[in-house]
Amino acid sequence: MENIKSLIEGHEEFQSIKFAKNEERFKTLVEKGQNPKALFIGCSDSRVMPEMITNAKPGDLFITRNIGNFVPPFNPDDSYHATAAAIEYAVSVLEVCDIIVCGHSQCGAIASLFKDIEPNEENLHTIKWLELGESAKRSTKLLPKGVSQKEILDYTERISVIFQLENLLTYPAVKRRIEEGSLFLHGWHYNIKNGKIEYYDEEAYEFKELTEKVKD
C-alpha cells in the first residue's frame, strides 16, 4: 500500500483540481462519446507519457502501448491480438485520421535485441514479442564499422519505427484508408533526456525535429 500512496494522493488532487477544471469537457465526452484526433502507438516505458509530451487534452488521443512500441503484422488467426485490435478499432470504428508510432531513447526493448536472453517459463511471451524488432536489428549491419554501441541503439530505435509503419500497411483497413487519402501515418522518436521529438521525413529519409514540421 505504501508504494502506491502517492498515486492515491495524486488521484485526490486530480479530482479536486484537474477534473474540476475540465469537468465540462469530460461531460461532453460522456454525452457525445470519444472522437480522438489520432491513434498513438507508444512504448510501455514509464518515462514516456503520450499526453504529457504532446500536451494532449482528454479525448485527443486513442492510445495503445506495448514493449518496444512494436506493430505486429496483420495475422487473422484465432489468438489474442491486443495491439492489432486497438489498430482496427481506431481505424474502422473511431475513424482516426492519423496514426503515430512513437519510439524513444534508452528503449529497453531495443537494447534487449542485442542481448543473449535465455528462454524460461517467465519470459517466453517477451522473447516472442521481441522478434518484432529483429528486422531493425539486422539493418544495423549497414552501419559503418567502428560505431559505438550507443550509436547502434540510437539507430535501431529510429529504424524500428519505420519497420513498424511498414507493418501497419499490412492491415486491410489501414491500407484502404491510406489509399483513400483519409488516413496518414507518422513515425516519431522521443528523446527522454531533452524532451524533444523527431519525426521521420519519408522524402528526405531522415528524422527531423518535430517543431520544424510545424513551421513548414
pLDDT digits (tens, 9 = 90+) for 34-75: 999 999 999 999 999 999 999 999 999 999 999 999 999 999
Domain span holding position 144: 36-215
pLDDT of 215 over the 90 cut = no
**Claim to verify: residue 140 and residue 202 sit in the same structural domain:** yes
Tell me: the pLDDT tens digits for 125-151? 999 999 999 999 999 999 999 999 999
pLDDT reported for residue 3:
83
The CATH number for 172's domain is 3.40.1050.10
Q: Let me know whether 29 and 100 are in one domain.
A: no
Which three cell numbers mark 92? 474502422
Domain count, the chain: 2
Q: What is the pTM of this model?
A: 0.95
Name every residue whose Cβ is closer than 8 Å to that of residue 112 and which is 6 or more positions away in sequence: 130
Clarify whether residues 46 and 29 are in a common domain.
Answer: no
Percent of the chain residues topping a pLDDT of 70 = 99
Q: Which three cell numbers stand for residue 70?
A: 512494436
Is the model's pLDDT at 1 over the cut of 90?
no
20 and 85, same domain (yes or no): no
Task: Flag whether pLDDT at 213 surpasses 90.
Answer: no
CB-based contact 38:62 (threshold 8 Å): yes
